[in-house]
C-alpha cells in the first residue's frame, strides 16, 4: 500500500489543500510547530477508519481523531479524500464531516476502486457508504488485519502508522487487544485457528468414539431374531471395524498432537522473535530520538558559531578541524599580545611608583622650603620695621644734636658727645641693613631652589600624566584582548563540541542503518 496523495477541505488549518506524495523513496513531512504536519497524518487515519469511541485519554486524539477535532473552526462541513495505490489498483477513499448546531458527525463517505486494464486505470467499483460500512470496505480492499468488530484500528496504529505520543501504546494495551495486535500483525491468527480446529476435531473424535461404544452396547442388548452365532459374527466384525477406526482416530490424534507440538514450538519461536523485534524497535526509536536531539543541538551550536564568528571577523569553515586550527593560532597570537601588554603595564606601574615617590619627596622639600622662605620674609618684615624706627630715631637725634641738646636727658651736650650718639645709631642701622640683605640673599637662594624643584615637579607630573594615559590605553587594549580571547575560547569550545557531536551523530547513524 502506497499513499499517493490527500486532499483536505476545511480540515484544521487547511482551507482546500491537495498534497501529493512521491511514489517511491522515503517521504519526510517537516515544518515548525503548528504548521499542520500531524493534521495530514490524522486526516489519513480518519479517512480510512472514521471516528472512534469517546475516550478520556487526550493522547488518543492523535491516534483516533474525531470530527470535532478535524473540522476547521468556523466551517460547517469538510472532507478528507485519500488516493492509495494497492497492488494493481488505485483506491480513492472520501469521508465527509458535518456540523449541525453543536453536533459534529461523519455519517457518509465514498470508496472508488480503479483497476489497470489496457494501459489505463478503469473505474470498477464506486460505492456510497455509511460510516461503518466504509470502514469495512476499506479493510476489505486494503487487506488490513483488523477485527471488524473492533472500532479502534489497533493493528494499523501500532504496526503501520505510529501516531504522535503513541510510540509506546502497544505496551499499555489490555491483554486481549495486545494478543489481537500481535496475532494479526504477525499472521498468527491462522495458527490459532488451527489450534482451535484441532481441539474441535479431538472433541468430535472423542464424541464419535463414545457414540460407537454406546451403539455397540445397544446392539448387544438388541440381538433380536438373529442367531447368537450370526450376531456374534456381526459383533466381532463390527468390533474389528471399530478397532480399525479407533486406530485410525488414534493415529490421526497422534499426528494432530505432533502437529500441535510443532505449532507450539513455532509459536514460541515467533513470540521470541517478536519480543526481540519489539525490543530492537524500541531501541531504534530511542536511538532516533537521541539522534534528532543531537541534530537539533548541532544546528543550534552551528548557528551560535556563525554569529560568534561574524563578531570576531572569522569565516566559519565547513571543515571544523581547519577552523579549530585557525582559532588556536589566533588564541596564541592574542596570548602573545596580552603578555606584551601586561609587561608594559607592569613597567608603567613600576615607573609610576618611582615617580610618585619622587613627587612626594619634591612636595615635601617644597613645603619645607616654603616654610623657610616664609620665616625669612617674616624676619625681613620685622627687621624693616625695626630699621624704619631706627632711621626715625636717627633723624630725631641728628636734629637734637644739631641744636646741642641731649636726645636722652634733653640737656645741653657737647658736639662730640652728640656725634658719638649719631655714630652709634648709624652703626645699629647698618647692622640691621646687613641682616636684611643677608635675609634677602637667603630668600633668593630659597626661591631659586624652589623654582628648580617646581620645574622638576612639573616634569614629574607631566611624566605621570603620560604614564596614566598610556596605562589607560594599554588597559583598554588589554580589556579588548581579553574580551576577544574569551570569545575565541567560547568559539573554540563550540567547535570542539560540534566535532564531538559530528562523531556521535555519525556513530548513531551507522548504528541505526
Cα distance between residue 123 and residue 146, in whole Å: 26
443 is in an annotated binding site: no
Phi, psi of 92 (to 5 degrees): -115, 125
Residue where the block lists cell 470508496: 111
Q: What backbone phi and psi angles, to 5 degrees, belong to 85?
A: -100, 125
CB distance 366 to 454 below 8 Å: yes
Residue 326, C-beta contacts closer than 8 angstroms, at least 6 positions apart: 314, 317
Answer yes or no: are the C-beta atoms of 63 and 163 closer than 8 Å: yes
CA–CA gap between residue 134 and residue 162 (Å, rounded): 22
Separation CA 48–CA 106 (nearest Å): 12
Q: Are 97 and 70 in contact (CB under 8 A)?
A: yes
Say how far apart CA 41 and CA 399 lie, in whole Å: 138
Beta partners for residue 12, in sequence order: none
The angle formed by the CA atoms of residues 277, 280 and 286, to the nearest 5 degrees, is 140
In whole angstroms, what is the distance from residue 382 CA to residue 432 CA? 10
Give the 3-state secondary structure percentages of the chain, helix then strand then coil, rounded to 5: 70, 15, 20
* Residues 377/444, Cβ–Cβ less than 8 Å: no
442 in Cβ contact with 376 (< 8 Å): yes
Q: Is 21 strand, coil or helix?
A: coil
Give the number of other Cβ atoms within 10 Å of residue 225's Cβ.
6
What's the Cα-to-Cα distance from 144 to each of 42, 184, 285, 372, rounded to whole Å?
Answer: 18, 9, 24, 118
Torsion sign (Cα): 131, 136, 139, 141: negative
Residue 129 in marked binding region: no
Rounded Cα distance between 494 and 112, Å, is 57
298 burial via Cβ count (<10 Å: 0-12, 13-18, 19+): middle
CA distance 184 to 223: 56
Q: CA distances (Å), 419 to each of 181, 400, 404, 416, 430, in order?
A: 153, 11, 10, 5, 16
Q: Where do the DSSP E strands lie in 118-157?
A: 120-130
- Binding-site residue numbers are 406, 409
**Binding residue positions for Zn(2+):** 406, 409
Amino acid at each position: 500500500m502506497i499513499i499517493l496523495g490527500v486532499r483536505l477541505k476545511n480540515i484544521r488549518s487547511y482551507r482546500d489543500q491537495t498534497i501529493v506524495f512521491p511514489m517511491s523513496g522515503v517521504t519526510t513531512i517537516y515544518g515548525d510547530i503548528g504548521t499542520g504536519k500531524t493534521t495530514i497524518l490524522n486526516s489519513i487515519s480518519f479517512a480510512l477508519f472514521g471516528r472512534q469511541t469517546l475516550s478520556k485519554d487526550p493522547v488518543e486524539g492523535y491516534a483516533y481523531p474525531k470530527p470535532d477535532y478535524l473540522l476547521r473552526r468556523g466551517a460547517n462541513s469538510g472532507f478528507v479524500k485519500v488516493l492509495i495505490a494497492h497492488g494493481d489498483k488505485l483506491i480513492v477513499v472520501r469521508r465527509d464531516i458535518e456540523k449541525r448546531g453543536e453536533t459534529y458527525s461523519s455519517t457518509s463517505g465514498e470508496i472508488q476502486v480503479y483497476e489497470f486494464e489496457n494501459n489505463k486505470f478503469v473505474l470498477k467499483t464506486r460505492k456510497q457508504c455509511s460510516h461503518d460500512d466504509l470502514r469495512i470496505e476499506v479493510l476489505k480492499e486494503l487487506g488490513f488485519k483488523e477485527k471488524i468488530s473492533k472500532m479502534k484500528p489497533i493493528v494499523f496504529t501500532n504496526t503501520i502508522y505510529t501516531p504522535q505520543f503513541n510510540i509506546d501504546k502497544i505496551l499499555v494495551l489490555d491483554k486481549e487487544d495486545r494478543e489481537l495486535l500481535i496475532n494479526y500483525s504477525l499472521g498468527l491468527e491462522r495458527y490459532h485457528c488451527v489450534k482451535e480446529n484441532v481441539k474441535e476435531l479431538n472433541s468430535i473424535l472423542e464424541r464419535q468414539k463414545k457414540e460407537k461404544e454406546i451403539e455397540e452396547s445397544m446392539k448387544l442388548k438388541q440381538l433380536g431374531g438373529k442367531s447368537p452365532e450370526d450376531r456374534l459374527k456381526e459383533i466381532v466384525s463390527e468390533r474389528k471395524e471399530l478397532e480399525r477406526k479407533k486406530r485410525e482416530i488414534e493415529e490421526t490424534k497422534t499426528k494432530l498432537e505432533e502437529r500441535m507440538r510443532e505449532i507450539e514450538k513455532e509459536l514460541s519461536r515467533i513470540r521470541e522473535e517478536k519480543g526481540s523485534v519489539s525490543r530492537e524497535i524500541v531501541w531504534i526509536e530511542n536511538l532516533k530520538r537521541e539522534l534528532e536531539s543531537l541534530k537539533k543541538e548541532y544546528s543550534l551550536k552551528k548557528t551560535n558559531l556563525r554569529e560568534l564568528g561574524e563578531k570576531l571577523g572569522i569565516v566559519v569553515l565547513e571543515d571544523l578541524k581547519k577552523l579549530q586550527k585557525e582559532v588556536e593560532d589566533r588564541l596564541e597570537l592574542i596570548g602573545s599580545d596580552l603578555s606584551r601588554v601586561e609587561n608594559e603595564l607592569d613597567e608603567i606601574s613600576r615607573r609610576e611608583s618611582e615617580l610618585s615617590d619622587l613627587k612626594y619627596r619634591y612636595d615635601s622639600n617644597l613645603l619645607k622650603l616654603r616654610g623657610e622662605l616664609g620665616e625669612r620674609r617674616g624676619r625681613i618684615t620685622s627687621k624693616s620695621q625695626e630699621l624704619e624706627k631706627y632711621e626715625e630715631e636717627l633723624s630725631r637725634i641728628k636734629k637734637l644734636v644739631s641744636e646741642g641738646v641731649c636726645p636722652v636727658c634733653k640737656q645741653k651736650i657737647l658736639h662730640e658727645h652728640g656725634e658719638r650718639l649719631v655714630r652709634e645709631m648709624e652703626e645699629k642701622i647698618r647692622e640691621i641693613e646687613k641682616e636684611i640683605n643677608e635675609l634677602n640673599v637667603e630668600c633668593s637662594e630659597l626661591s631659586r631652589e624652589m623654582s628648580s624643584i617646581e620645574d622638576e615637579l612639573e616634569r614629574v607630573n607631566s611624566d605621570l600624566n603620560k604614564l596614566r594615559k598610556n596605562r589607560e590605553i594599554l588597559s583598554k587594549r588589554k580589556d579588548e584582548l581579553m574580551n576577544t580571547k574569551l570569545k575565541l575560547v567560547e568559539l573554540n569550545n563550540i567547535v570542539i563540541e560540534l566535532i564531538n557531536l559530528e562523531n556521535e551523530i555519525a556513530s548513531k547513524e551507522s548504528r541505526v542503518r
